[in-house]
Chain A
């Protein structure tokens, strides 16, 4: 049986990769994908602890995380479309002003 620490290390590695993507990538769509990657890394931790503690609550929190991630993806991609229509770019370096 896989020990919990292996799952937590997998979760840490995926989270760090997502964090690196958010920091170094400039394409806003890829930055959003990296955010999804970080959310999934956290889900791995929740599932690992649910298994370790023999409690189902972790799975329910994963369910809520997925619902929030779906809402975030929908609104975020709408923002990307609005930004592309307004500025004709998806590069985050070109969108660095709060005002139009």
Chain B
């Protein structure tokens, strides 16, 4: 019962904050709303026994990536005249809203009937020991490939954002 109550609480908070991300005027308030969404999803992950995933969600996403976003927003220092001046309701927004509602309805329609019971998971499921045991044996090659991806991203970001080459 407690688990369900907490799940619905986190789910409602994340959806409302996601609405603010999509509809917010100011980029900074959108970024703050996205941090709230990511934090609430970390709560959902904890309820699903994904403790390690919840930890890196807070550390990497809500910490590092969102700090990067807020840094760039501050660096660009947009004035009120730079913010988008679109009408409150336009054909594009209507089309986007209908598109998204149809997509959500279609996806949710497939999932409503999906009521298979979850397997009983043992103690330590989703903990650091189990994940690292698998990560460093079965998934060692993708793990090494990810390090190459991150290295390429770092070099690429420096090259792209450099003032002159």
Query: A10 contacts the other chain (Cβ, under 8 Å)?
Result: yes
Q: What residues of chain B lie closer than 8 Å to A15, measured between beta carbons?
A: 103-104, 107
Contact pick for B119, options A30, A32, A52, A90, CB 8 Å: A52
CB distance from A46 to the nearest CB of B (A): 9
Question: Given the complex of chains A and B, what is the CA–CA distance between A16 and B165 in angstroms?
Answer: 40
Determine whether the beta carbon of B60 is less than 8 Å from that of A17.
no
Size of interface on A: residues with Cβ below 8 Å to B = 71
Determine whether the beta carbon of A19 is less than 8 Å from that of B103.
yes
Q: A10-B14, A24-B93, A63-B53 in contact; A47/B34 too (CB < 8 A)?
A: no
CB distance from B137 to the nearest CB of A (A): 11
Q: A47-B53, A64-B142 in contact; A32/B126 too (CB < 8 A)?
A: no
Query: A56 contacts the other chain (Cβ, under 8 Å)?
Result: yes
Determine whether the beta carbon of B96 is less than 8 Å from that of A50.
no
Q: A5-B113, A10-B14, A51-B49 in contact; A23/B100 too (CB < 8 A)?
A: yes
Q: What residues of chain A lie closer than 8 Å to B108, measured between beta carbons?
A: 8-9, 12-13
Determine whether the beta carbon of A20 is less than 8 Å from that of B22.
yes
CB distance from B86 to the nearest CB of A (A): 7
